[in-house]
């Protein structure tokens, strides 16, 4: 057996560069890195040596650079992924939030945090967390509950088993999610005679599981007996590449489709059978159809509470749930009829089994009525002196966008309004991280999206709260020459949670600056963005916003546009109940009234 002598870090990077996807390109598209004492000598030197085959990107914050990596993988439908490395202490822990985000959203990312010395000679090394009762513990154990696969590399030869396991997890459609390989810093630098065969290029197939015979028969029987089925399209439709299959399926059998946050854009917004967004942030058209459905067909959805209205939405007393999902865990929720299979394969086989069986599509007037209401709230304001609403901002961005534009967001007011109001024409033109709803994902995520698909316009919608939490990868986008457009809506605080607070009877408290112990401050977001090298504008009206967006589309560099908005209005129409527990006892009459309404709603939940 021929061998080659490499350090463990060199072997890891050479192996990663040799793993290909079915398109013939490296599956790991690059490494995001912030170096510290726990990874600069071993991993840093290894990355330098292979920089032409495995590019290294310098981040500004460990969490946000991981967000960029995750967004990259999501935008490419999990066909490629990125790796992220940090030092052993604060840098590693900064990435745990991003790992949780990837875990919730079933997205691949490889975390390679440095770790303590395996030989324990320098204990306690700088940044080492010492557990008084467990000598094997380090800060990286925090990754365990938010990793699909976790390993600690304490000997060079462990890579021979750990790396293939990591790749299997990253590329498995059912187990896909974050992988953490905590890499002891002394082991990174240790040499070993690795088999040359370990570095031969390998292609990883993305398997498409076929349905079980018995499960399939039960699913077909449920479909044939249903009178009013509805399809809930989730993110798995995109990950399976099943958007065309879904379109063919619903057209052949005349089944209405409603879309989750992750599934939005699976079907064009103007398709006659797309009844729009579903659930808490849903359209009236979608929710009416869902209330009446006797068979709820989940395709690639994990049935999050925003999708189901905390399981109050599906009101038909005879309703059943059919869950087509590649992950058995998701297919068995709420006593569903499970159909564990790839979404594309599952839909194709179900369609063949149904033959010419069709259903009566819902009243198209529901859809027309909803979009009339949506158009009304997104129209340009007639009063140019009024403070714009978030809905009017969305309307301006929509009018300035093209079919291939990707609009993205993650937290605050915008996710709900975008889910309801944005009109997605093409698949993957809507990118929302609403599984973890992580503030700070937005700008870094926009960078990752644009790296994944350079030919698409990327518009990042972010509130002032999220911008303040994490904005540093704006400088990275500028420095890399990766053009994104960032629209900052400044409502001077956390407007979304302020409305929720008021809606549950609470007093306005600690959300908007005006109701906190922080005096209202006029933050110059445009000036801040300009200091990081972006073109920036502060606009005072929707018409000025549209002008700035038109200029941004023609620009070659990253542009940031800031506009003040009213923190109180929402779309008004649409939406659904969401289970937010209201205090049972309070000195506030408003809270007590909200509690009465809450208890009544609980009784209505099916």
Residue 356: inside a domain, yes or no?
yes
The reply to whether 347 and 439 lie within a common domain is no
Look over the chain and give the mean of its residue pLDDT values, rounded to a whole number. Answer: 97
The sign of the CA dihedral 568, 569, 571, 574 is positive
The reply to whether 344 and 418 lie within a common domain is no
CB contact at 8 A, 489 and 414: yes
H-type helices in 235-324, by residue range? 235-239, 243-253, 284-292, 305-308
Cα 172 from Cα 160, distance rounded (Å) = 19
Residue 569: inside a domain, yes or no?
no
Q: Which residues contact 380 (CB under 8 A, 6 or more apart)?
A: 392, 395, 396, 542, 543, 546
**C-alpha triplet 381, 382, 386: angle, nearest 5°:** 65
DSSP string spanning 415-438? HHHHHHH----STT-EEE--SS--
Please give the C-alpha separations between residue 295 and each of 212, 316, 361, 460, 562, in angstroms, as whole numbers.
20, 9, 14, 36, 45
Ramachandran region of residue 490, left (φ > 0), alpha (ψ -120 to 50) or beta? beta
Structure tokens at 442: 């937005």
Residue 579: inside a domain, yes or no?
no
The reply to whether 360 and 383 lie within a common domain is no
Q: Domain range for residue 74?
A: 3-203
Residue 592: inside a domain, yes or no?
no
Residue 519 is predicted with a pLDDT of 85
CB contact at 8 A, 298 and 323: yes
The reply to whether 186 and 303 lie within a common domain is no
Structure tokens at 73: 């993988």
Residue 604 is predicted with a pLDDT of 85
Please say which residue of 203, 236, 266 terminates a domain: 203
Cα 237 from Cα 162, distance rounded (Å) = 30
The reply to whether 80 and 131 lie within a common domain is yes
High-pLDDT (> 90) share of the chain, %: 98
Cα 430 from Cα 291, distance rounded (Å) = 25
The reply to whether 176 and 236 lie within a common domain is no
Surface-to-core class of residue 520, CB atoms within 10 Å of its CB (0-12 exposed, 13-18 middle, 19+ buried): exposed
Residue 570: inside a domain, yes or no?
no
Block mean pLDDT (10 aa), the chain, length 606: 97 98 98 98 98 98 98 98 97 98 98 97 94 95 98 98 98 98 98 98 97 98 98 98 98 98 98 98 98 98 97 96 97 95 98 97 94 96 89 98 96 96 97 97 98 98 97 98 98 95 96 91 95 97 97 97 96 95 97 96 85
Structure tokens at 174: 């059912």
The model's pLDDT over 158-214, given as tens digits with 9 standing for 90+, comes to: 999 999 999 999 999 999 999 999 999 999 999 999 999 999 999 999 999 999 999
- Tell me, rounded to whole angstroms, the distance of Cα 546 from its chain centroid: 27
Counting the structural domains of the chain, the total is 3
Question: Where in 76-211 does DSSP place strands (E)?
Answer: 81-86, 109-115, 149-153, 178-184, 191-195, 202-203
C-alpha atoms less than 13 angstroms from C-alpha of 149 in its C-beta half-sphere:
24
Question: Strand 337-340 relative to strand 430-432: parallel, antiparallel, unpaired?
Answer: unpaired
The reply to whether 351 and 388 lie within a common domain is no
User: Which residues are registered as beta bridge partners of 298?
Assistant: 232, 323
Residue 220's domain is classified under what CATH number? 3.40.50.1220
Closest CA to 219 of 350, 98, 330: 350
Closest CA to 467 of 494, 498, 449: 494
Residue 348: inside a domain, yes or no?
yes
Please say which residue of 203, 227, 252 terminates a domain: 203
Surface-to-core class of residue 1, CB atoms within 10 Å of its CB (0-12 exposed, 13-18 middle, 19+ buried): exposed
Cα 516 from Cα 52, distance rounded (Å) = 51
Residue 456: inside a domain, yes or no?
yes
The model's pLDDT over 67-98, given as tens digits with 9 standing for 90+, comes to: 999 999 999 999 999 999 999 999 999 999 99
CB contact at 8 A, 464 and 528: no
Cα 74 from Cα 235, distance rounded (Å) = 10
Please give the C-alpha separations between residue 501 and each of 14, 190, 496, 580, in angstroms, as whole numbers.
52, 55, 9, 10
The reply to whether 400 and 256 lie within a common domain is no
The reply to whether 53 and 171 lie within a common domain is yes
Residue 22's domain is classified under what CATH number? 3.40.50.970
Residue 584: inside a domain, yes or no?
no
The reply to whether 311 and 398 lie within a common domain is no
The reply to whether 182 and 233 lie within a common domain is no
The reply to whether 333 and 447 lie within a common domain is no
Q: What is the 3-state secondary structure (H, E, C) of 452-496?
A: HCCCCCEEEEEEHHHHHHCCCHHHHHHHHCCCCEEEEEECCECHH
- Tell me, rounded to whole angstroms, the distance of Cα 517 from its chain centroid: 33
Residue 605 is predicted with a pLDDT of 83
Please say which residue of 338, 364, 390 terminates a domain: 364
pTM of the predicted model over 0.95? yes
């Amino acid at each position: 057996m021929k061998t080659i002598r490499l350090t463990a870090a060199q072997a890891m990077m050479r192996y990663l560069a040799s793993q290909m996807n079915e398109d013939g390109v490296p599956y790991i598209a690059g490494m995001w890195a912030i170096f510290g004492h726990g990874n600069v000598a071993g991993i840093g030197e290894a990355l330098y040596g292979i920089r032409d085959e495995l590019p290294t990107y310098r981040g500004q914050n460990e969490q946000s650079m991981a967000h960029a990596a995750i967004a990259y993988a999501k935008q490419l439908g999990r066909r490629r992924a990125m790796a992220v490395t940090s030092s052993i202490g604060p840098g590693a822990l900064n990435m745990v939030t991003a790992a949780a985000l990837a875990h919730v959203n079933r997205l691949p990312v490889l975390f390679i945090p440095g770790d303590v010395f395996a030989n324990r000679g320098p204990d306690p090394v700088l940044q080492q967390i010492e557990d008084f009762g467990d000598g094997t513990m380090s800060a990286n154990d925090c990754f365990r509950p938010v990793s699909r696969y976790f390993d600690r590399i304490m000997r060079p030869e462990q890579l021979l088993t750990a790396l293939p396991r990591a790749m299997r997890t990253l590329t498995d459609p059912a187990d896909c999610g974050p992988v953490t390989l905590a890499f002891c810093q002394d082991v990174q630098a240790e040499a070993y005679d690795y088999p040359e065969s370990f570095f031969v290029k390998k292609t990883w197939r993305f398997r498409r599981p076929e349905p079980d015979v018995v499960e399939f028969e039960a699913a077909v029987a449920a479909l044939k007996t249903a009178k009013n089925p509805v399809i809930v399209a989730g993110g798995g439709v995109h990950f399976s590449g099943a958007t065309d299959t879904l379109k063919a399926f619903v057209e052949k059998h005349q089944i209405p489709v409603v879309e989750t946050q992750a599934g939005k854009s699976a079907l064009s917004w103007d398709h006659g059978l797309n009844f729009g967004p579903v659930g808490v942030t849903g359209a009236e058209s979608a929710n009416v159809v869902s209330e009446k459905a006797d068979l709820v067909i989940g395709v690639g959805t994990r049935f999050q509470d925003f999708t189901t209205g905390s399981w109050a939405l599906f009101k038909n007393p005879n309703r059943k749930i059919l869950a087509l999902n590649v992950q058995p865990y998701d297919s068995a929720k709420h006593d569903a009829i499970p159909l564990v299979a790839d979404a594309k394969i599952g839909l194709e086989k179900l369609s063949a089994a149904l033959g010419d069986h069709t259903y009566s599509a819902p009243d198209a007037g529901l859809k027309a009525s909803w979009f009339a209401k949506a158009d009304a709230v997104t129209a340009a304001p007639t009063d140019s002196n009024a403070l714009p609403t978030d809905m009017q901002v969305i309307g301006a961005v929509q009018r300035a966008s093209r079919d291939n534009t990707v609009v993205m967001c993650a937290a605050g007011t915008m996710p709900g309004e975008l889910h309801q109001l944005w009109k997605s024409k093409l698949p993957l033109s809507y990118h929302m991280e609403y599984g973890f709803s992580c503030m700070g994902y937005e700008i870094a995520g926009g960078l990752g999206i644009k790296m994944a698909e350079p030919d698409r316009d990327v518009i990042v919608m972010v509130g002032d709260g999220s911008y303040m939490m994490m904005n540093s990868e704006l400088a990275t986008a500028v420095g890399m020459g990766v053009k994104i457009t960032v629209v900052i809506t400044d409502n001077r605080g956390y407007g979304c949670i302020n409305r929720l607070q008021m809606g549950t009877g609470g007093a306005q408290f600690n959300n908007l600056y005006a109701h906190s112990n922080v005096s209202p401050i006029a933050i110059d977001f445009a000036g801040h963005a300009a200091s990081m090298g972006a073109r920036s504008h502060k606009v005072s009206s929707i018409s000025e916003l549209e002008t700035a967006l038109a200029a941004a589309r023609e620009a070659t560099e990253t542009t940031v546009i800031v506009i003040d908005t009213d923190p109180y209005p929402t779309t008004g129409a649409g939406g659904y109940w969401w289970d937010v527990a209201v205090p049972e006892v309070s000195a506030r009459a408003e809270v007590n009234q909200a509690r009465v309404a809450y208890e009544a709603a609980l009784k209505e939940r099916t």
